[in-house]
Structure formats: C-alpha cells, structure tokens
C-alpha cells in the first residue's frame, strides 16, 4: 500500500500517510474521501465552470481544506486547491498527472504540493495547491498567452523561441529562468507532454522578482492520444516532431539559450541521473499495468534520442 499523496510505502490505516497529510497541513490528522462519485464530480465541475478563476479544457473544481474536520470542501471562490476528477474520455488522467509532476520534481523543477484524493466511489482525483495564493492575498501571475497577446484560441500559434523572448523581456534575472526553461522543455519531451502551449507557461512575481511560476498541468498527453505525431506543443527549430539530441543541446541550449558548455554538460548529467530512477517510480505509481507499460516504452525511446542514440 502506498500513500496517495507521497506515493511512498504506507502500512497504516487509510490511503494517506502522516507525511502526506503533513504536506497539506501540519495539524491534519486524517482526510475523508471526497463525498462524490466521478460522475458527480464532473457535474460539479460543469456547474461551477463559470465561477472559477482558473479555466482550462480539463474539468476541475476549487476546494478548501477544512483541517479540523479532516475534509476537502468544494467552493465557488477562495479555494486553495484545484481538484481534477477522472476524465470521461482520457483514461487515468489523475494518476498520470500525479506521476508526471513527481517525475519533474526529481529534476529540481519547482512543483506545488500535489497528489491524489480518494473519491466516494474509490476512484481517484488529482489535486494541486494553488501557487498564486499567499496568506490572505494573491500573487501576480500572468501566463505567456497574456504576455504575448495571444488568446485561448491561439495558444498553440507560437514557438519555443518565442518563450525565450518573453523570458528575456519580462523576467528579473533572465539567465536563471532560461535554465529553468530548458529543464521544463526537456522534461516535457521525455514524459510525452505535447500540450505545453502558451497558457501552460506563466510568470509569477515573488519577493519583488519576476520569474517562472511553479510548473503545472504536467502530464503524459501522448498516452492519452497515441495517434498524435507531435512531440512538443510549440515548435522548436520550426518542427514539433522528429526532435533529436542536436535540437535540444546544440540548437536550444547552446545557440538560443546561450548556456556554457559546462552548464550543458551538468544538465545532461543531472537528467541522466534522475531519469535512471524514473522506471522504478513509474512501476510504483497508481497507473494501471497497461499505462505503466506505455509510459516506460515512451520514456525509453525518448531517452535514447535525447542521449544521442
């Protein structure tokens, strides 16, 4: 048995370990299942869609954690967590997103507290803590579509090179953010995330610094759409598929991001070390055997290409 939040082995009662509950709140002793079935959660998401400040294609609800009562409560406003129920069409999205976010974290990519929640019918929902909330206030966050004058309808009409320009234009320390950008693009390629469009990149202002926000909406979208021929949402070097090591290391890291040879080599070594542990994490995830097999196969093929094979 594993904790739904940390995915670490857990032999106690219930689906959440003390360590997992502590990530949500230090005083949280237990957490009741969401009192909804998958169908009911999807109905709640549809009914409240117009009231949420965060939109998107995937159904979601906003929740507040009631620590003393040990439960998550769906709210129309003021929520500190986003909860995504199972999708009717794409299988195992909650389990997929929880895993992919945890893989990104092993690379040093900043991700919010996240994990899985148990629903009333024993299915799982994915949850993530909102990173644009601090105390009773709200931190300034703008996605790259807003920053580039694009809309929800034109969020794919851009390029990876344009992401670099936006970072150079708005970030306080562009060099640091360009390194983060490389990490996230490499992670997207390795994990089959072909949906990192303009609205899935954001800048946040914290401590008077404009920087990339914590990563969000990371999932292996290729598994849900096996017929797709694209490998990135935004073209790199004018292409979205058939990407090779040269595209990432020489063209992107060296020519476009201007990273030194030493930094590039450090990044390659760091990714190789982290990815070596990914198969075990995938095997220990809450995905089904079939989905694990697909994820592992894609990862092996992408690692070979990224390493120059």
The 10s digit of each residue's pLDDT in 106-133 is: 999 999 999 999 999 999 999 999 999 8
Residue 122 burial (C-beta neighbours within 10 Å; 0-12, 13-18, 19+): exposed
pLDDT level of residue 88 (50, 70, 90 thresholds): confident
Does the pLDDT of residue 190 top 60, yes or no? yes
What is the structure's pLDDT at 218? 97
Least confident of 85-89, 108-112, 287-291: 85-89
For 37-75, the pLDDT digits (tens) are 999 999 999 887 765 555 556 899 999 999 999 999 999
All structural domains of the chain, each given as residue ranges with its CATH number in brackets, are 18-129 (no CATH), 140-306 (1.10.1070.20)
pLDDT value of position 55: 53
pLDDT of residue 49: 72
What's the distance, Cα to Cα, between the start and end of the chain in Å? 37
Please give the torsion angle defined by the CA atoms of residues 224, 228, 229 and 233, in that order, rounded to the nearest 10 degrees: -70
Decide: residue 107, CB within 10 A, 0-12 exposed, 13-18 middle, 19+ buried.
buried
Q: Which pLDDT score, from 0 to 100, does residue 40 have?
A: 94
C-beta separation of 306 from 186 below 8 A: yes
Measure the CA–CA gap between 228 and 206, rounded to whole angstroms.
37
281 class by beta-carbon count within 10 Å (0-12 exposed, 13-18 middle, 19+ buried): middle
Q: Is the pLDDT of residue 281 over 60?
A: yes
Euclidean distance between CA atoms 259 and 263, whole angstroms: 6
Residues 6+ apart with CB under 8 A from 88: 42
Rounded CA-CA distance 159/256 in Å is 13
Longest CA–CA span in the chain (Å) reads 54
Tokens 């105390």, residue located = 135
Instruction: Using the structure block, give the residue that is written with the tokens 């020489």.
Output: 250
Angstrom CA distances, 268 to 20, 146, 248, 261, 299, stand at 31, 32, 11, 11, 16
66, 81 contact by CB (below 8 A): no
User: What one-character DSSP code corresponds to residue 236?
Assistant: B
Distance (Å, rounded) from C-alpha 284 to C-alpha 279?
Answer: 9
Q: What digits encode the pLDDT tens for the residues 214-266?
A: 999 999 999 877 777 899 999 999 999 999 999 999 999 999 999 999 999 99
């Amino acid at each position: 048995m594993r904790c739904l939040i940390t995915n670490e082995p857990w032999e106690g009662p219930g689906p959440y370990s003390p360590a997992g509950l502590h990530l949500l709140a230090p005083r949280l002793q237990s957490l009741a299942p969401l009192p909804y079935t998958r169908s009911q959660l999807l109905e709640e998401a549809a009914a409240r869609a117009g009231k949420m400040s965060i939109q998107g294609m995937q159904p979601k609800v906003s929740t507040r954690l009631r620590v003393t009562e040990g439960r998550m409560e769906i709210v129309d406003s003021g929520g500190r967590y986003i909860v995504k129920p199972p999708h009717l069409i794409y299988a195992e999205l909650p389990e997929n997103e929880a895993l992919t976010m945890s893989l990104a974290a092993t690379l040093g990519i900043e991700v919010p507290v996240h994990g899985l929640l148990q629903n009333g019918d024993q299915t799982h929902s994915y949850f993530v803590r909102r990173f644009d909330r601090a105390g009773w206030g709200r931190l300034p966050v703008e996605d790259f579509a807003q920053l580039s004058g694009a809309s929800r309808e034109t969020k794919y009409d851009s390029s990876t090179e344009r992401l670099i320009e936006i970072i150079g234009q708005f970030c306080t320390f562009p060099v640091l953010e360009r390194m983060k950008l490389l990490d996230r693009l490499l992670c997207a390629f390795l994990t089959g995330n072909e949906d990192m469009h303009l609205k899935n990149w954001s800048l946040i202002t914290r401590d008077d610094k404009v920087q990339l926000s914590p990563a969000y909406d990371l999932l292996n979208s290729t598994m849900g759409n096996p017929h797709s021929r694209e490998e990135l949402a935004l073209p790199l070097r004018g292409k979205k598929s058939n990407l090779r090591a040269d595209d990432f290391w020489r063209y992107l890291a060296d020519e476009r991001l201007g990273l030194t040879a030493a930094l590039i080599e450090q990044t390659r070594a760091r990714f190789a070390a982290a990815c070596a542990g990914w198969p075990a994490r995938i095997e220990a995830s809450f995905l089904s055997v079939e989905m694990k097999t697909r994820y592992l196969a894609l990862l092996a093929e992408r690692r070979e290409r990224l390493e120059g094979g």
